[in-house]
Amino acid sequence: MNMLTTRSRLPEFIDRRINYYVSDLINKKDNGRNLVLGKKPHPSDIILQSNDYLALTHHPKIIDAQVNSLLSKKDTAFMSNVFLHSDGLDKTVEHNLADYTGFQTCTIAPSGWIANIGLLQTICDSETNVYIDFFAHMSLWEGARIAGANIHPFMHNNAKHLRRLIKRNGPGVVLIDSIYSTIGTIAPLQEMVSLANELDCAIVVDESHSVGVYGPKGAGLLQELGLTDQVDFMTASLAKTFAYRAGAVWCNNLTGQVVPYVSFPSIFSSAMMSFELDRIDATLSVIKESDQSRRRLMECSEQVREGLANIGYNIRSESQIISLETAEKTNTRKVRDFFEDHGVFGSVFCTPATPDNKNILRLSLNSALSSTDIDKILSVAKKAHKNKELYFV
């Protein structure tokens, strides 16, 4: 790293802000790094930090598809999505994703963040009421903020509170996740969708952590519950079960036609490359054939949830995302280090991903976990729970 020089001096108002972040996010930590950075795992450790729920990252069919695409020297133009014609590879992949989930249209985005922000910029403005679950993904919050919408947060998974807010403020757009990324709870989708339709609201469901894992051939919770045709918009990051870099917006209306021309992130970002699209399409094919892996993931998730609850942990999870609630920073660091010292690596979630002093150690399970792995996870968790220097909420 290059040494700082006098030329590196910033204006005082920026310098003050950066120094605050350095002090608060880095220097306060015992190891001189941010709380999310613990030890580097060894290949023999159990790594529960990835959202690759079906363990597809190194699947040979997917890798072969991407390599062959690169070697084929397909024409790839580095340009905004708005300049792409309707017969391009991206449209083929979008059609396949739409058919997979049962929505009328699908629009690929470079990330789930861009998908959510771009959609909300398209459908919301300063006169739009937005009703958002307290635990909804930050991209939904940020999308509503950028659109200038009137934001009304409602209590997590609480349809009664949502109803009161809509009755008080009028129709708008309801924003929820199907599976919440911090504590792994599942939205009461039937109740939320019915309420939105009853009170003349549009609804956006982010299925980032459920598409590929739940539903027929992994088509998502909306498909599993028969709700697809009652939902206006579905979004997802394809950096979870699809184990790559992309996002998508699904629509049951004309919005899909205009998102590429209204969404600033889409207009001012480069389109996906052909080898990326080929990989996503190959991944979709593999996901459809992965019923056995989905069953194994559900088995692993149930065993770990039940095991942790029997030990005495307060587990709110209903899915493959399981979080140990560790509260303030010092305790979170100790819990993280304890698990890592014993060969189990989770992900620390702290501000801005969680409220201050409501930190968690998130364990993201995958279908490749063995019975021995699960036994070790629970064994380490039991030792941690008994350790008097640690505590859990």
Is there a contact between 317 and 305 (Cβ–Cβ < 8 Å)?
A: yes
| Residue 324 belongs to domain spanning | 29-54+291-386
Q: Report pLDDT digits (tens) over 127-154.
A: 999 999 999 999 999 999 999 999 999 9
E-only strand ranges, 129-288: 129-133, 150-154, 172-177, 202-206, 233-237, 247-251
Provide the number of structural domains found in the chain.
Answer: 2
- Structural element, H or E, at residue 301: helix 291-311
Helix crossing, 89-101 with 274-288: angle to 10°? 20
Same domain, 186 and 49: no
| CATH code where residue 39 lies | 3.90.1150.10
Same domain, 195 and 299: no
Among 242, 272, 288, where does a domain finish?
288
Same domain, 220 and 180: yes
Residue 204 maps to a domain: yes
- Structural element, H or E, at residue 190: helix 189-198
State pTM to two decimals. Answer: 0.93
Q: Which residues of the chain have pLDDT under 70?
A: 1-8, 27-32, 74-89
**Closest by CA position to 387, among listed 318, 335, 332:** 335
> What pLDDT is recorded for position 266?
86
- Distance separating alpha carbons of residues 331 and 336, to the nearest angstrom: 8
Residue 241 maps to a domain: yes
> What pLDDT is recorded for position 83?
56
- Distance separating alpha carbons of residues 106 and 96, to the nearest angstrom: 9
Supply angle C-alpha 156, 159, 162, rounded to 5. 85
Same domain, 93 and 34: no
State the SS3 of 60-108: HHHHHHHHHHHHCCCCCCCCEHHHCCCCCHHHHHHHHHHHHHCCCEEEE
> What pLDDT is recorded for position 80?
59
Same domain, 113 and 102: yes
150-154 and 129-133 as β-strands: parallel, antiparallel, unpaired? parallel
Same domain, 238 and 95: yes
- Distance separating alpha carbons of residues 124 and 59, to the nearest angstrom: 40
Question: Which residues on neighbouring strands pair with residue 130, listed in sequence order?
Answer: 151, 173
Residue 14 maps to a domain: no
Among 270, 288, 306, where does a domain finish?
288
Burial of 80 from C-beta contacts in 10 A (0-12 / 13-18 / 19+):
middle
Among 288, 305, 327, where does a domain finish?
288
Same domain, 279 and 337: no
344-345 and 150-154 as β-strands: parallel, antiparallel, unpaired? unpaired
CA atoms within 13 A on the CB side of 214: 19
**Closest by CA position to 284, among listed 230, 233, 252, 236:** 236
Residue 329 maps to a domain: yes
E-only strand ranges, the chain: 46-47, 105-109, 129-133, 150-154, 172-177, 202-206, 233-237, 247-251, 321-327, 344-345, 347-349, 359-364
- Distance separating alpha carbons of residues 265 and 80, to the nearest angstrom: 10
